Amino acid sequence: MTRPSNISAIGNEIAIAWEDGTESYILMERLRAASPSAENTGEHDLLGKRYGGTDQTEFPGVTVTGWRMVGGYAVQFDFSDGHATGIYPYDFLRKLGGAGTV
């Protein structure tokens, strides 16, 4: 698993330099929309019924206000709209940054 060697906020993007020398640039609004948190995606019961979550797909003007590493596998971002519960695994961030699709 490739880990970030540096994370920076540049304008309206989060720039991630990876240990393998590659870089990812993710729009902050896209990062917020892709939050894998239950607050964003909801929770599903055994039959697949969704509880909670939001159908909102765009977060215009939302910015990243901070972040912290979670264990050795993910990053947790704080957003200007108060959202701070999404945990973004490194492979998910790499896909968001263009190394695949999410």
Domain that includes residue 57, residue range: 4-99
Question: How high does pLDDT run on average in the chain?
Answer: 90
| pLDDT tens for each residue of 88-100 | 999 999 999 975 4
Q: Between 2 and 41, whose confidence is greater?
A: 2
pLDDT at position 48 is: 85
User: What's the whole-model pTM score?
Assistant: 0.86
Q: Between 39 and 10, whose confidence is greater?
A: 10
Query: DSSP for the chain?
Result: ---EEEEEEETTEEEEEETTS-EEEEEHHHHHHT--SHHHH-EE-TT--EES-------TT--EEEEEEETTTEEEEEETTS----EEEHHHHHIIIIIS--
Domain count for the chain: 1
What's 19's domain CATH number? 3.30.2020.30
Mean pLDDT of 74-95: 96
